[in-house]
Amino acid sequence: MINELFLRMNGSKNSNSILKNYDCKYISLQVVNHGLQKELIQRMRNVSDEFFNLPIEEKEKYAMPSNDIQGYGHAYVVSEEQTLDWSDSLILMIYPKRYRKLQFWPKTPHGFNEIIEAYSSEVKRVGEELLSSLSLIMGLEKHALFGMHKELLQCSRVNYYPTCNTPDQVLGLSSHSDTGTITILMQDDDVPGLEIRNKGNWVPVIPISDALVVNVGDVIEILSNGKYKSVEHRAVTNKNKRRTSHASFLIPRDDVEIEPFDHMIDAENTKIYQKVKFGDYLRQSMKRKMEGKTHIDVAKIKEQLIEEQIKENA
């Protein structure tokens, strides 16, 4: 059970906690004892490395079309202002199966599809248990968040960050928060690269062997009326070592309407976010430049946004 999993904050050995008792503004965790077999994790890493080591003409067989978010490519934000990051990615819809576009599922390396299927199934199990625990943290019935999604969607993004001669000048992935509910990330054990923003500073998430990093996304921030903030994060490059990671995004269906729960609003905590369909929020966010958490303004009530801008300019 997820409420028996030990969690560590940012790799600190002195900050073990149990998720059901975890109550703070920002939730970014490394989960151990999650039940995924080490062999499966390593096989996922191996086939990911093998895919990105293929000749470019082989990878381009699975190239992402301009009107899609699935496939192999270099960027998925469509804003013309977006600076391309120092990374490649393979993005696939995993669940529900009817959303899969198998023309983008690599035929090489051998066994890739079977391994990503097995890995994603296990991550889905962990994600559903995390949603149950987050429901309890937010003062809801255990299965409330899962039910709110109507149908839990899972998207996989396998990232590849080549070595970079100027790591102090080039980002692997620009600063952003994830638009979905939660993101479950598998890092390389020996090559750090993920950083989260905490009180204005960038803090590296030091990998724990075979741990899964869990970041809360914008959906939780909106539902909690800002009590639980989505995690702003980025990926940095490395001069000497290439790096891969595997992100699984758990998101609601497009037609799910999200807005703050009633019990998250009171006289001291006025409503910050308006009701918005998740699909509309996702599409509007992708049209904007990936720059910190500015895209969440799409869901903010206009009066709240004006008030924040006045404070910033004061």
pLDDT tens digits for 38-79?
999 999 999 999 999 999 999 999 999 988 999 999 754 444
What distances in angstroms separate CA 164 from CA 52, 103, 281, one per listed residue?
A: 16, 31, 34
134: enclosing H helix or E strand: helix 112-137
Instruction: Please report the pLDDT score of residue 311 as a whole number.
Output: 62
Region for residue 112 given its phi and psi (left: phi exceeds 0; alpha: psi -120 to 50; beta: otherwise)? alpha
Tell me how far apart the alpha carbons of residues 207 and 221 are, in angstroms, rounded to a whole number: 25
Domains and CATH numbers, the chain: 2-313 (2.60.120.330)
Instruction: State the pLDDT confidence band at 33, using cuts at 50, 70 and 90.
Output: confident
Mean pLDDT of 172-197: 92
Taking only the tens place, the pLDDT of each residue in 72-97 is: 997 544 445 545 678 999 999 999 99
Q: What is the pLDDT of residue 51?
A: 97
Phi/psi for 242 (5° steps) reads: -75, 160
Q: What is the pLDDT of residue 9?
A: 35
What's the CA gap between 192 and 10, in Å, rounded? Answer: 12
Tens-place pLDDT, residues 241-286: 999 999 999 999 999 999 999 999 999 999 999 999 999 999 998 8
Q: How far from chain centre, in Å, is Cα 145?
A: 17
What is the Cα–Cα distance from 276 to 290, expressed in whole angstroms?
20
